[in-house]
Amino acid sequence: MNTTRLTRWLALLLLGCVTFNSNASSDTDKTHYQTATFAGGCFWCMEPPFDKLDGVISTTSGYTGGKKKDPTYKEVSRGGTGHAEVIQIIYDPARISYDELLNEFWHNIDPTNANGQFCDWGDQYRSEIYYHNAEQEKLAKLSKAALIELKPFDAPVVTAVTPASTFYPAEDYHQDYYQKNPVRYKFYRYGCGRDKRLEELWGKTANSEQH
């Protein structure tokens, strides 16, 4: 096993075979909701910052960007499927804009890492924005261009902006992991050095769970 993923696997082993249902909206009128999909490394760590936002209806951890049909966590995490770990967000555009989601996304990733995110290395842990329509494509590219122009880091911004493809929800035990298994989640997050690196990159604007 790749040692960079050892801490995460230990947390999974502690969890065992317990499964949980994923987020589900209680709203019945979903006709105006929209979808956003982001890859930012470990999907456990990408759910919390979006779940807290007013206007986000649900977040679902999963896989996208590859060619393997119905991939499993084991297949994706060992690499070779082409898929990335992602979260898919259902949101109400009347309450939160796509620009606001993009801002939250940037401040929860390392956009300078071309080899993964934090302690997780490999293409399956890349950062990426998957747009679902022309408007999202335009806003995502403008957002990335603005970040490059701002030059908050010495290293270049390498996060890709890509058309959305088939999304495969992850296994039930991955959904809402931080809520159902807070100790194990914090153990993994701390061991991965996520908050430390986010603060190095973004300062006090980082969504560090140490604050």
Q: What domains are defined for the chain?
A: 32-202 (3.30.1060.10)
The token pair that represents 7 in the structure block: 């801490």
**Predicted model pTM:** 0.84
Q: State pLDDT tens for residues 65-104.
A: 999 999 999 999 999 999 999 999 999 999 999 999 999 9
Residue the block writes with tokens 């979006």: 50
Banded model confidence at residue 22, pLDDT cuts 50, 70, 90: very low
Q: Which residues are catalytic?
A: 42
Angle of CA points 99, 101, 107, to nearest 5°: 105
